[in-house]
Amino acid sequence: MVQCQGIAHFSIPVSDLEKSTKFYADVVGLQPINSDGKRYSFMDAGGTCILLCAEDAPINREGGKDLVHHAFTISEEDLAKAKAHLEAAGAEILFEEDRQGGTVNGPRIYFRDPDGTRLEFIKMTSYDTTPR
């Protein structure tokens, strides 16, 4: 059996690479690394590589399934400021919750990127890897 050692990167489709690169840098807080300006932008999320990939629109106009999303860990201090930060940026805020007793626990806020992709900011309080 092959044993996974971690995540090298994950990709998010976007319809406007320049607009989305700016959103993920200014709103989500990712660090731009490398971009060809047309097809892709590599960005760093605290040591995890995120690849924004230019695709034809619409990407996610129906908002996608509720379970499908990308979660980014942030500090407790930043989580307290996240709603105002997202509102100021014009991001669509979906809801907030403090989920406990599951696999990935902690307070969180869900929102959408410019293409409607569901994103999450979470102050992760625990990660329970106990098989169930």
User: Which residues are identified as catalytic?
Assistant: 120
Task: For the chain, report the end-to-end CA distance as a whole number of angstroms.
Answer: 21
Taking a C-beta distance cutoff of 8 angstroms, is the pair 104, 127 a contact?
Answer: yes
DSSP 8-state code for residue 69: -
Total length of the chain: 132
